[in-house]
Structures are given as C-alpha cells and as structure tokens.
Structure 1
Amino acid sequence: MMERPGRSFLMDAEPEPTAPAARPPRLRALGAHARPRSLPFDQHPTFRELHAARQLGMQTGLRDPHYRTHEARAGAHTRLDGRELINFASYDYLGLNGHPEVLTAHADAAALYGTSVSGSRLTSGERPVHAALEAALADLYEAEAGLLFVSGHATPGSVLHALLGPRDLILHDELIHNCVVVGAEGVRCQRKSYRHNDMEDLERYMVRHRDQFENVLIITEGLFSMDGDGCDLRALIDIKERHGAWLMVDEAHALGVMGATGKGSAEHAGVDPRRIDIWFGTLSKALVGCGGYICGSRALTDILRARAPGLVYSVGMPAPVAAAALSALGIMRREPQRVQALQARSRDLWEGMRALGLDLGTSWGVGIVPVILGGDLATLAASQRLEALGINTFPVLQPGVPANSARLRFFVSAAHASADIERALEVLRVAAPLS
C-alpha cells in the first residue's frame, strides 16, 4: 500500500513543528476556563468524509464495495447475493483453501488442542505444531530459525520495535505495505522512503547519510500487492552488503507465486536466501491460514521471542490454523505443478489484457494483475459492470493507492481454469472501455 500519497523521498515520518501549535478555533471560543468536550462520533471528520462518499455513491447509483458478504468458500469462484461469480478478489493462489488434507489437518489439531491456545506462547500457548511450522518455513528459506505471529499485519511492527532504537533508520520502498508504515510509526527511530524500486535513489541516500545511523534496515516487498511488480533483489543485496545494512523482504504475496517451485523472490531472482537478513511473510495467501512469520538467524528469533510485543503480549496462533498452514506448505513443496499452473494462468490473463489495450502499470503478470483506470468513480462503476457480467474483482481506491491511480485488482489462482481466464477476457472485451 502507498505510504502516504504526496510524500516526498527522505521526508521524516513526523516533521518537527517549527512553532507552538495554535489552539483550535473551537477551544479558543470556549475560553480559558471552559472545559472542552469530545465531539460525538457522527461529527468526527472521518465519519463525515465516509458519509459524504456514501451519499455520492447513492446519487450515482454506485454500491459500496466494502465488507460484502461472500456466501461461499474463497477460491476461483464465489457467491455474492445468490449469484455464482468467477472470483479474482481472493488470495488463494495455489487453490488450497478447502483442500481435503488441509481440512483434515485443521480438524485433527482442533480435536487435539482445541480452537485456541488460550495464552501467550511465552506463558502457556506453545504447542508442537508451532515449532513444526516454524521449522518448515525456516527450511524453505534455508534459514536457521522461523517464528510465528498470530497477526500478519502486526508482525513487522513487532520486529521493528524489538530491533531498532533512536540511533537507527528504517529505509523502505515508498509503496511498502501499510503494515510496515503503521508498525514503524511507533518505533523510536528515523524513517525514510526511497522511490519505488529505484536503486539509484536508494544508493544515493546510503552514500550521503549511512554514517549518521548505527543500524539501517532496508525494507521492500518481493511482490508488491497493489502494483504486481517486484523488487530488484540482487541490487538490494549488493547495496545492503556494501553499506553494512540489514535487509527485510516482505514475502506475503511472493510465497507460492514466484520462483519455479513457489519458494518466492529469492528463487525467482536466483540468489542465496541466506543473504537476506529478515524474511517476513503471512500465512493468509498461498498457505490459506492467518498470521505472520519471520525467518532468519537464530539470534534474530531469540531477540524476537524475548522482546517482540506482538508475540510476548499476544495470544499464540491457534493450533488448527498452524496445522492447516503446515499442511498447505507441504502440498506446495510436493506439487510444484500448482505454482506452474498459477503462473501460466497469470500470464494468459496479463497477455490478454495487454492485447485489449488495458493499462497494467508495471505489473509482472504473476499472481496479481492490476487494471489501472484512474478515477475512483469510474473504477467503482467498472467493478459493478464486471460483476453484472459474472466477474468479481475488487476496486482499489484512495487512500489505498495515490490519487488518480484507482484500479481493479485481479488475483489469479491455480484453481482458475483456462475457461475462467477466457471468460474474464471476453467480459473485459465486452465491457470496454472500462473508464
């Protein structure tokens, strides 16, 4: 997700005020001795903004696309309002959601351990399946150790809090996911962004400013969730090694999608995964579960076990969720043809969209294919037009992406048949122009 539209490179996360902030007009009007009262929530600026957007949608006949109830299992197809649709809005990259082995593993773990571990892993929430999944993930990345977190979104924030201090710097791609931005905002260190996938921009900053900081952590994504492109991993490794920094790679959308066997961005780039200091990922995409993971050195995971707030102070991951993800990972390793099918379907959709003259931005055409339409209203209207024709894809609007870059985002699954891709392209051909 975009860090914050309009932010420039090297801008501090929180600019220092140059003068004492003036009292808000409402407080000045109350006088020195009056006691201010918090506004009702229906007068909160965010509520007013949401209300205005809903009113505009009603006037234009556009439906709110958020929080809709899907009446079927997330996968290549779904059911909305009683209608069967081809689904391009779910993360089930390898078609494992509901796989019999995954369901059995989930049920067996629930029968043995219950639906909750009922405590922090530090105190009473540790179960054998946690260690088994951590070992399997570590083996995938050729790392010394792995570590599970109950929340994928909270994982990077917990890592940053545990590792960094006032003399340190987080240096991330400007399009890094919201979980990194939000996680970094509460850390007592500096935070800068470099232009998207611009290695020259990153190198210039490192040359000029690296000596000002003790530890520098560079953060990028193996596959960017909004744009469907990836980082230049080889160049990033060279920069971090040359300047003595750490490198953290978000594999949330790369695992199971990139590389000949789905091992992710290191396999895709042909680099030794041990040269990356911190691998971060989620279980909610290819591994059809929920939660986050970290892989790296044993010293890293020892620090996190002792100091990461999202692990120490949170309930542990439910054992059935860990068991399901472990089963899915085993199937991925055993059946690389699923990865190959996903990549083939993605390529077919990407090439067909290009032939229709659609703007796919910088997408690589693997797993995620965005169709950039620009305006929010035009994108909402296009999504509804496609739904009426049997295709479900989610419209991504501001603030999820910068102004004038709203898009329809297509997630491809190995479970999509060739006929699903052909039908999607046929619908796009009939519905064009979308904007």
Structure 2
Amino acid sequence: MPFSSPLPSPMALNKPPPSPSIFKKRSSSALGGPIPSSAASYLTALSQADARARNANGSPTSTPALSLSSSVTSSSEDTVLHDYADNDSNANGLLLPARPPTSEQVFTTVHTEFGHCANEEYRTTSQHPPGTPLPPHVEQDPPYYILLSTYISYLILICLGHVRDFVGKRLSPASYRHLMPRNGYAPLNSDFDSFYTRRLKTRMDECFSQPVTGVAGRTILLLDRISPDYNHTQIFTGTRTRALNISSYNYLGFAQARGGCADAVEESIKRYGISSLGSRLEGGSTDLHTISEALVANFVGMEDALISSMGFATNSTIIPALVGKGSLVISDELNHASIRFGTRISGSHVRMFKHNNMKSLENLLKEVISQGQPKTHRPWKKILVIVEGLYSMEGTLVNLPAILELKKKYKFYLFVDEAHSIGALGPHGRGVADYFGVNPRSIDILMGTFTKSFGAAGGYVSGSKALIDRLRVYGHSGPYAEAMTPSVLTQVVASMASIMGIALPPEMASSSKLAIEQEYHHPGPAPPSSLPSWLSLPPNLASGAEGSSRLRRLAFNSRYLHNGLIKLGFITYGHPSSPIVPLLLFNPGKMNMFHRLMKDRQTPIIVVVVAYPATPLVTSRVRFCVSAAHTKEDIDTVLKACDEVGDVLDLKHGLPKRQRWTVEEIMKRAVELGTMA
C-alpha cells in the first residue's frame, strides 16, 4: 500500500501473515490462463464461468466475506469475474470494460457491486411506530480531556501556521507570490482567507478527495497515490486497490454496471443517443422528460413534478421563484448549503431555528407573526419553513408530525428537502412522509435528488399542479439549465419503477378490475401507461420484489451498524433508521489516522472523513454511508475494524465499559440490533 505509515500500525504487530485478499491486484497469471484477447472472448469466458457457478453444488445464503481468498469461487478461471477489471490491458493492448457480477447472478460468485443475502432474518421495515413521538436527538459530549486536547491541537496548528507564514514570506517569498500584491494587482486570495486550507486542511489532505474509478457499488477501486511534498501535490503510483465501500450514497444499491436498470439505459442510448436532445434554445424537453415528471409525481404522491439536471441547482433556482422581498424564510440551522444559497439570492428575510427543536421553531413563529416585517411591521407576504427530511451530516430525521401540527396552527408553507430520505426511508421507499405515515399532500413542496437512492443525477421539486406550472415559468432552472440526458432519465425511471413495482396491464388483469378505470393510488405500483413502451425490466424488478427487499435490507443494515457502534462504546449521531451513521472523532489528528488504518487493513475499507467547515470545528467525524448492497458480513467487517481502530485511537467515549458489548456478542445478536428502534 502506497500510504503505509513509516511505523507499523499497532494492530499489525504480532499478527500472522495475511491470507490473499480478493481486493489485492493480481497478475494475469492469477486468472487461470491468458487474458481474453477481445471483448467477445471476455464475454464468452464470463458466460462459461457463470454456468460453472450455477452447476456448483449448493449455494451459500450470502456473498462470501470480503476477506476470503478467491478460492470461494467454483474454479480458478472464475476469478475473471472479479479480477479482470484490475488489469489495465490484455496481451494485445485492448482495454476491456469491467464486468463484475451483479445482483442478478448466482450466489457462488464474489460480488463487487451488489452483495447477496438470502437470510430473511436480516431484514426489517423502515417505519416510525404510529402514535409515538419522535425521540429527541441528544448529543453526547466526550470527556473533558478529549475536548481540551482537540482545542489545543487546533491552537498548535494555528500558531505554527502563522509562524511558518511569517518566516516563509521573508525567506522564501516566491512561494507566497500568489498571496502578495504584485504588478499593481491585488491577490485573488488573501493569506487570511486561505489560511485554513493551506495550514490545516493540507496537512491531512490524504483522507480527502480520494480518487476512484469504476462503479461505486459494494466495493470500489481506489487509484493509489503518494505525496512527496506534504500533500501539496499527489502522484499516482499506477496501482489500484479494491476496497469495501462504506462511503457512497448508493443507498439501494442501484449503482450497478449490469442488470435490469443498466440494460434499460443501454436501450435508451440506442434510441435517443448519448447527449441531451435539446439545447437551452430548444428547451430540451422530450416525451421521456414528461414521462419522468409524471412518474416522480406518482412516486412521491403529489399532483405534478418538475425535474432539474442538478440537485444543488434545484434548491438554489427554485427557492427564489417561491419567495422574494416581503417574504420570510424560516430555516433549520443545519440546512444544506443549496438551501442557504437559494434563500440568500431570493431577497427574502431569513431567520433560523435550532436544529430540529420544535420549541425553538414555535417561539420564532410567534415572534415573527406578531412583529411582522422589520421597520414597517407589515404582515409578511408569505412565510416558508424549510427543513430537510434526513440531515446528511448528522443523520437525524425531521420531526415531521410535530411540524405539521405547527403548520395547522400557524398557517405557514412547508418545504421539505428529501435529497437523502427519498428512496431510503419508509416501508415503500417514499421518504419521510411514508416513514411517518402522513399524507404527502399535507406538505406544500417536496424536493429531492436522484443522485442517492436512484443511482442517477439531477433533482426534482413536486407539489400542486398550479405551483409546478408557475415554477416552470419563473424558476431559473427552466430557461437557463440544460435538460437531463435520456440515459440519466432512463436510470431514474427504471430504478423508481423497480421500487414501486409495475401494475399488471389491463389485458392481464382480472375481469373485476377491467371495469375499473386505471388510476394511481399512492403508494402503489406504477401504471404501465406511465412508463416508456420500450422499457422492459426483469421480473424480479418489475414485480417490485427486489425493490422491497432492498428497502428492508437497507433498514436492517442501518440499524445494525448504528446500534452496533453504540454497543461498542462509540459516540454516534443520528437516528437508527438513517443510512448515514456519523462516528465522532473530535481530534483533527485522528481523522487522517482513522482513514489510513481503515484503508491499510487486510480487507481495505474506504470511509468519508468530514471536518470543518462542513461540521463544527471540534466535532470532526467519519460518516458511514450504508447501502442495501452490503451484506451482514460486510457490516461485521466494518464493526470489527472500528472496534480495533477505536481502541488504538481512543475513540470509545460513549457507553461505560461495563455496559459495552464485545464485537463477537454484537455479531451473534445482530438480528436483535438490526430490528431495535
């Protein structure tokens, strides 16, 4: 590994030599023969390996553990299924595409994109118990010595940074030319503005912006790199490392290069081409855009929907069309930057309330309604409350029932950003309204993105037809943004239909149903008329069976990891149903070490480390992103790694030692933890 520490890791001491791992790059000889010389030869080898796997005696109930060697496959030749992507070229210099097995292949292969788990005990339903209040999130503080050492660490870094700047500007002025006025021009960036980036972030830049290639599925392929100049530049070594991916927003595992959705995308490219069918002057809207917007509206339970080619732009261009001068926006203090940007350019007055604190929100509502606009004290033209369904840095859920009660009492408009909750929460995957069992039309505006659960790109906003018609005219994304490409729209439609399931066509329905006019009832299967006529999904996707299974697997994996980390003694944030599980690191020096120790294990694990300004300065964290593509054994692998790394870095400051569980007990009682609220 190119990022190996100069000193051996404490976990590496007194350990037997590791067995071969499927993640390590192998030479061509490991493939059991010469590499195929063409794409056709490769596909033939793939089919033969799949046939051998199908004929193998017995089928395990889940994908083999990631740390096992390739001997778990039927024969040595079958390693082409998961190793061929790691080879740069074949003997003739032909670069072939990676074709790892997917969720539609047999259980006996090693799956890099989607892991199999046939054990129905490792399933649960993502649903809030009806009639019970949402328990408040209580942030747990670490011991005082942890907070003190964290503040001292930042103080030392800041002092050393200023000393280095003072000395460097005098001894090596050429290195600071971009920060000094010259030739009558002021610097584009002042040394004060770029101080954090230069003197703090750069010191631990190894754990940020890790370059990857291929599909961000259950595993991911890292491009190894080194830095000879303390992270000022990064140099690729030319090697790659396959790691367990616990860092992508691939909540339902639809990030796959093969399968029913990928086949549908391929068919759309044949029909529509690769690029968008229209420029900004032509509008770029096609029949596929109309179909997609209607399907999104059905999926979320609204009258109409408007799609955009970028998630960030959905908020930043739609909010100014909703509110303006004389309006008031009340925003949760932890709302996303796109919401803050949209409200800032709208010209409306902005007030914030404490995160998910309904008492703070109600007190603020009483104040702003009684006082009216500043100076004139005229009534507000409109009041818009903006919250997120699932907060990506905290993993907390909005207290939607309580906000709806306040909405009835104080008569404001409600905007819910479901970028992370749509497709990931609720028994039907329809977001926080589905999770809490409330009517989605009691919410005025539902916004979401396609980049997480649907494995695509872009975003949408949904509401009443009158509202969406107005946004088509006054929203900036309509006249100024490019249209979404047909291939991306097809991925959205295919994955969304896989979650909903497709209703039987009239000719196949029972005679009693023929007399009833086909009308969509939320939440329900997608009517065949709402999908492109050429779209064909495999039976397991079209029936909605696999979509339902993925939702229940995601719910189990999320609860299992969240509760397992708590039982190990870590301080975590968020709701147990959240697929985002933050683990608090606090000290900046532990961020880089946690990333390195996880990546340098026998089974490499790639994680996302988050620091200021995305989080408060002293609450740096690692953010695990759980997927339905992960198996129970994958979560076990993460828990084992966290248990060892947590002991080395002194991260267990949650439960007292006498109340903690061992990792073996957690694995044994996984079903209990995976269904615990």
TM-score (norm 1): 0.87
User: Where do residues 144-183 of structure 1 align in structure 2 (5 Å cutoff)?
Assistant: 144-183=303-342
Aligned to 1:67: 209
Is the 2:574–2:581 Cα contact (8 Å) retained in structure 1? no
RMSD: 1.9
Counterpart Cα distance in 2 of 1:168 and 1:116: 39
The CA deviation string for residues 184-228 of structure 1, in whole angstroms up to 9 with x for no partner, is 111111011110000111111111212521211111111111111
Counterpart Cα distance in 1 of 2:357 and 2:279: 40
Is the 1:117–1:126 Cα contact (8 Å) retained in structure 2? no
Aligned to 2:197: 50
- Give 2:336's aligned amino acid: H
- Give 1:418's aligned amino acid: K
Give 1:310 shift: 1.8
Change (3 A) 1:121 1:280: farther
Change (3 A) 1:285 1:54: closer
Aligned to 2:110: none
Aligned to 2:525: none
Change (3 A) 1:148 1:38: farther
- Give 2:199's aligned amino acid: A
Which of 545, 550, 575 is residue 338 of structure 1 equivalent to?
550
The CA deviation string for residues 51-77 of structure 1, in whole angstroms up to 9 with x for no partner, is 22355x2xxxx4433322112310111
User: Where do residues 33-432 of structure 1 align in structure 2 (5 Å cutoff)?
Assistant: 37-41=184-188, 43=190, 45-53=192-200, 57=203, 62-80=204-222, 81=224, 82-98=240-256, 99-117=258-276, 119=278, 123-210=282-369, 212=372, 213-333=380-500, 334=544, 335-389=547-601, 390-432=604-646
Aligned to 2:106: none
- Give 2:458's aligned amino acid: G
Counterpart Cα distance in 2 of 1:275 and 1:152: 23
Is the 2:331–2:387 Cα contact (8 Å) retained in structure 1? yes
Q: Which has the larger radius of gyration?
A: 2
Counterpart Cα distance in 1 of 2:572 and 2:253: 24
Counterpart Cα distance in 2 of 1:48 and 1:39: 17
Give the match's secondary structure for 1:64. helix
Give the match's secondary structure for 2:285. coil
Give 1:104 shift: 1.9
- Name whichever of 116-125 and 127-136 sits farther off: 116-125
Counterpart Cα distance in 2 of 1:119 and 1:45: 44
Greater relative CO, 1 or 2 (CA 8 Å, sep 6+)? 1
Give 1:234 shift: 0.8
Counterpart Cα distance in 2 of 1:365 and 1:377: 30
Counterpart Cα distance in 2 of 1:111 and 1:427: 45
Is the 1:54–1:64 Cα contact (8 Å) retained in structure 2? no
Change (3 A) 1:327 1:44: farther
Give the match's secondary structure for 1:171. strand
Change (3 A) 1:77 1:114: same
Counterpart Cα distance in 2 of 1:174 and 1:54: 24
Counterpart Cα distance in 2 of 1:206 and 1:116: 47
Runs of 4+ in 1 over 3 A off after TM superposition: 35-38, 40-49, 118-124
Is the 2:558–2:576 Cα contact (8 Å) retained in structure 1? no
Counterpart Cα distance in 2 of 1:118 and 1:37: 47
Counterpart Cα distance in 2 of 1:53 and 1:89: 23
Change (3 A) 1:121 1:104: farther
Counterpart Cα distance in 2 of 1:140 and 1:118: 25
User: Where do residues 8-19 of structure 1 align in structure 2 (5 Å cutoff)?
Assistant: none
Give the match's secondary structure for 2:421. coil
Change (3 A) 1:383 1:132: same
Give the match's secondary structure for 2:206. coil
Give 1:391 shift: 1.4
Give the match's secondary structure for 2:390. coil
Give 1:271 shift: 0.6
- Give 1:70's aligned amino acid: V
Is the 1:120–1:312 Cα contact (8 Å) retained in structure 2? no
The CA deviation string for residues 126-157 of structure 1, in whole angstroms up to 9 with x for no partner, is 01111111111111222110110011001112
The CA deviation string for residues 318-372 of structure 1, in whole angstroms up to 9 with x for no partner, is 1110111110111122121110001111111112101111111233342111101
Is the 2:277–2:286 Cα contact (8 Å) retained in structure 1? no
Counterpart Cα distance in 2 of 1:330 and 1:64: 40
Q: Percent identity?
A: 30
Is the 2:573–2:581 Cα contact (8 Å) retained in structure 1? no
The unaligned stretches of length 5 or more in structure 2 are 1-181, 225-239, 373-379, 501-543, 652-677
Counterpart Cα distance in 1 of 2:459 and 2:186: 37
Is the 2:425–2:577 Cα contact (8 Å) retained in structure 1? no
TM-score (norm 2): 0.56
- Give 2:605's aligned amino acid: I
Counterpart Cα distance in 2 of 1:36 and 1:248: 50
Counterpart Cα distance in 1 of 2:548 and 2:583: 28
Give the match's secondary structure for 1:401. coil
